[in-house]
């Protein structure tokens, strides 16, 4: 970025930064990527707000990025997923420098992973109970049969990430609580945990029934209690619980995040459903215990390169047949 500031003024303001003397930290937000500092410059009060600059996207820089990282420390690994902390910009204090990168590695990745992370247009769709039963449910079944949930079952069955499980109940109504792989596990303002159910017949929010309300409420209470006990600097009313629809993977799980975690795409309307709202909707449904979320229409957004858009909703929009056998 080229500055339009006259050179003499630019030189003056640039000289002020090294003179900044810290008084205290005012705030940290954007999941730890921005800090607001109070201090003084020449005995006068000053505010300094610092945030991570955007990544350079030129090919030479991106080509050398992986080899430029230092102090790579693995935080965990499960099936094709691994996550790390690392340093950029080698310095004389490499061993002591705090990590400034949180890395996630998916290897080997699939075409579905590539589509998920690639920039793409977004569409709003409404999934009726009929569309769900006729097309989306068979799609979910096909994805589960491809083995995409091995990493989840590794956790449930005790083969991976057991040191990260912070709470567990076993049985048909059992579940476990563990940190989300995108949380750095230290910044409380960006706390993000996952509650994963043990039973395998609940693939998404669509499988919740009116007769399951007491179980869902029990999980909510246990998740809140466990989180505030483990992280006493957080109170219950600083936590929000939600589920995704459509979820990234078809095994029911609940997200527990700090309310100050900035709501990006994954918490936006059309992706996240508040757990308390789901419970209320189930409680007030007409019908018996088998009435449930499979009976309602759900509106959400999809990437134009997602399989759900390409194989189901785009054909329906264009009046073409949905080829269920291709799922």
Q: What tokens appear for 18 in the block?
A: 């090294």
**Strands 101-106 and 81-87, bridge-based pairing:** antiparallel
The answer to whether 12 is a known catalytic residue is: no
Q: Which of 244, 251, 253, 313 is catalytic?
A: 253
> At which residue do the structure tokens 């056998």 appear?
325
Interacting residues of 63 by C-beta distance below 8 A, sequence separation 6+? none
Both tokens of 195, joined, read 């509650």
Do 241 and 222 meet the contact criterion of CB atoms below 8 Å apart? no
Pull the structure tokens for residue 30.
């954007």
The CA radius of gyration of the chain, in Å to the nearest whole number, is 23
- Distance from C-alpha of 157 to C-alpha of 160, rounded to nearest angstrom: 8
Measured CA to CA, the distance from residue 181 to residue 204 in angstroms comes to: 20
Let me know: does 210 contact 288? Beta carbons within 8 Å.
Answer: yes
- Interatomic CA distance for residues 190 and 187, integer angstroms: 6
218 with 173: CB under 8 angstroms? Answer: yes
Active site residues: 253
């Amino acid at each position: 970025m080229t500055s339009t500031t006259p050179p003499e003024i630019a030189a003056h303001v640039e000289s002020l930064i090294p003179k900044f003397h810290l008084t205290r930290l005012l705030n940290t937000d954007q999941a730890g990527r921005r800090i607001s500092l109070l201090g003084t410059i020449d005995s006068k009060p000053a505010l300094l707000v610092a945030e991570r600059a955007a990544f350079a996207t030129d090919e030479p820089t991106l080509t050398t990025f992986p080899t430029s990282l230092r102090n790579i420390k693995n935080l965990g690994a499960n099936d094709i997923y691994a996550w790390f902390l690392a340093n950029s910009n080698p310095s004389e204090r490499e061993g002591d420098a705090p990590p400034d990168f949180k890395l996630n590695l998916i290897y080997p990745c699939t075409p579905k992973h590539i589509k998920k992370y690639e920039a793409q247009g977004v569409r709003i769709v409404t999934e009726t109970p009929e569309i769900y039963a006729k097309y989306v449910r068979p799609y979910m079944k096909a994805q589960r049969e491809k083995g995409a949930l091995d990493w989840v079952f590794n956790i449930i069955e005790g083969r991976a990430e057991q040191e990260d499980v912070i709470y567990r109940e076993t049985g048909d109504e059992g579940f476990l609580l563990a940190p989300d792989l995108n949380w750095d596990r230290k910044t409380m303002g960006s706390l993000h945990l996952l509650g994963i159910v043990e039973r395998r017949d609940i693939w998404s929010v669509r499988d919740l029934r009116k007769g399951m309300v007491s179980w869902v409420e029990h999980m909510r209470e246990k998740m809140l209690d466990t989180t505030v006990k483990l992280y006493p600097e957080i109170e219950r009313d600083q936590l929000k619980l939600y589920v995704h629809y459509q979820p990234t993977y078809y095994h029911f799980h609940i997200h527990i995040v700090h309310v100050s975690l900035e709501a990006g795409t994954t918490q936006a309307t059309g992706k996240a459903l508040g757990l308390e709202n789901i419970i209320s909707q189930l409680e007030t449904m007409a019908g018996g215990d088998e009435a449930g979320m499979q009976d309602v229409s759900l509106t959400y957004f999809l990437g134009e390169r997602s399989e759900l858009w390409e194989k189901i909703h785009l054909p329906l929009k264009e009046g073409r047949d949905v080829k269920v056998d291709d799922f």
